[in-house]
Amino acid sequence: MNPDDAIVDLYQRHADEFDRHRNRSLMEKAWLDRFVALVRRGGRVLDVGCGMGEPIGRYLLEAGLEVTGIDSSPALIDLCRTRLPAGEWIVGDMRALDLGRRFDGIVAWDSFFHLNRDAQRRMFPRFAAHAAPGAVLMFTSGPRDGEAIGTWCGEPLYHASLSPEEYQRRLRSSGFSLRFFLPNDPDCGEHTVWVATCGAERGRDVAP
């Protein structure tokens, strides 16, 4: 089995560990606030790779947004349904995302980067197919093209990234305009963060 194909089973088998150790301190808050400010008031948001819905799904719900989350782990989705019944929680593989609906915001935080590079390339048309006019897309990636295999629960944990230049090309070709891009944000655990809008005028390339 390829390391990227093992991700689905890895998170299912270690759902309890992930739930226990996932940081809830909201180091992502500044980016989530930027995302919320751009999404239509009371709009519908799709959380791709939502995990157990905390802290991101919960934060978006508390901001007054309608949240639909999708994750490949039934165990994590069960936690979402128990703790956050106001949201809609779906078991599914993001690589086959096809909900037949459009959303005002799409977030893929620390999830999309577990796909191999070809699978990431194929996600951009899927993001576009689920984006309403003016929708906001926010995702995290690596800072440069390549693959990395870490360790989690004593098992290999796969990550991959396209180059920043290719992400920009993929966004443009799928109808998104880049609003913010910040590699290795020192105030957010060195996350590399992208924010784009569907069919909107081009904004800044680097977040302030």
Q: In the chain, where are the structural domains located?
A: 7-20+28-33+42-198
pTM of the complete model: 0.91
CB 49 within 8 A of CB 108: yes
- Mean per-residue pLDDT, 156-185: 95
Q: Which segment of 1-5, 36-40, 121-125, 159-163 scores lowest on mean pLDDT?
A: 1-5
Ranges of H-type helices in the chain: 7-13, 15-21, 29-38, 56-62, 74-83, 117-129, 164-173
Higher pLDDT, 199 or 108: 108
CB 182 within 8 A of CB 206: yes
Distance CA 21, CA 126 (A): 30
pLDDT by residue (tens digit) across 70-100? 999 999 999 999 999 999 999 999 999 999 9
Residue 11 has a pLDDT of: 67
Domain 7-20+28-33+42-198 indexed as CATH 3.40.50.150: yes
The per-residue pLDDT of the chain, averaged, comes to 90
Residue 157 has a pLDDT of: 80
Distance CA 89, CA 70 (A): 6
Q: 208 pLDDT exceeds 60? A: no
CB atoms within 10 A of CB 125: 13
Residue 105 has a pLDDT of: 98
